[in-house]
Amino acid sequence: MSYSRIEVKPLAGALGAEVFGVDLSRELDRETIAEIHRAHLEHLVIFLREQRISDDDLARFGRYFGELASLPPHRQLPGRFPELLVIDKQPADKLVFGWEWHSDTTHLAVPSLGSILLGKIIPPTGGDTLFANQYMAYDALSHGMKAMLSGLKARHGNGRILMSLEHDEALPPADPRAQQYTTAFAVHPVVRTHPETGKKALFVNELHTERFEDMSYEESQPLLGFLYRHAVRPEFTCRFRWREGSIAFWDNRCCQHLALNDYPGKRRLMHRVQIKGTRPI
Per-residue confidence (pLDDT) for residue 74, from 0 to 100: 57
Per-residue confidence (pLDDT) for residue 76, from 0 to 100: 67
CB-CB neighbours of 77 under 10 Å: 12
The distance of Cα 49 from the centroid of its chain, to the nearest Å, equals 19
- The whole-number average pLDDT for the span 14-40 is 98
Contact 94, 168 (CB under 8 A): yes
Q: What integer best gives the mean pLDDT of the chain? A: 93
Contact 11, 238 (CB under 8 A): yes
Dist. CA 161–CA 199, nearest whole Å: 29
Dist. CA 95–CA 261, nearest whole Å: 7
Contact 97, 104 (CB under 8 A): no
Q: Which helix (H) or strand (E) holds 143?
A: helix 143-149
Per-residue confidence (pLDDT) for residue 109, from 0 to 100: 96
72-81, 89-98, 248-257: least confident range: 72-81
- The whole-number average pLDDT for the span 23-31 is 97
- 160-189 pLDDT, tens digit each: 777 776 776 776 666 677 677 777 799 999
Percent above pLDDT 70 for the chain = 94
- The whole-number average pLDDT for the span 66-81 is 78
Per-residue confidence (pLDDT) for residue 81, from 0 to 100: 86
- Enumerate the domain spans of the chain: 7-276
CB-CB neighbours of 73 under 10 Å: 7
Percent above pLDDT 90 for the chain = 82
Per-residue confidence (pLDDT) for residue 116, from 0 to 100: 98
What are the E-state strand segments in the chain? 7-10, 17-20, 45-48, 85-89, 112-121, 129-133, 153-157, 185-189, 191-193, 200-202, 209-212, 237-240, 247-251, 255-259, 268-276
- 227-255 pLDDT, tens digit each: 999 999 999 999 999 999 999 999 999 99
Rg of the chain (C-alpha set): 18
Buried (b) or exposed (e) across 79-95, using 16+ Cβ within 10 A?
Answer: eeeebbbeeebeeeeee
> Would you please indicate which residues are annotated as catalytic (active-site) residues?
102, 104, 257, 272
Dist. CA 157–CA 159, nearest whole Å: 6
Long-range CB contacts for residues 2-5, cutoff 8 Å, separation at least 24? 3/35, 3/38, 3/39, 4/31, 4/35, 5/29, 5/31, 5/32, 5/35
Contact 209, 154 (CB under 8 A): yes
- The whole-number average pLDDT for the span 190-196 is 98
Per-residue confidence (pLDDT) for residue 73, from 0 to 100: 62
Ranges 76-90, 154-168, 191-205, most confident: 191-205
Question: pLDDT class for 265, splitting at 50, 70, 90?
Answer: very high
Closest residue by Cα to residue 7 from 44, 32, 41, 42: 32
Per-residue confidence (pLDDT) for residue 180, from 0 to 100: 73
Buried (b) or exposed (e) across 140-166, using 16+ Cβ within 10 A?
Answer: ebeeeeeeebeeebbbbbbbbbbbbee
Per-residue confidence (pLDDT) for residue 30, from 0 to 100: 97
- The whole-number average pLDDT for the span 26-51 is 98
Per-residue confidence (pLDDT) for residue 112, from 0 to 100: 96
- 99-130 pLDDT, tens digit each: 899 999 999 999 999 999 999 999 999 999 99
Per-residue confidence (pLDDT) for residue 71, from 0 to 100: 80
- 39-52 pLDDT, tens digit each: 999 999 999 999 99
Give me the amino acid identity at 123: P
- The hierarchical CATH code for the domain 7-276 is 3.60.130.10
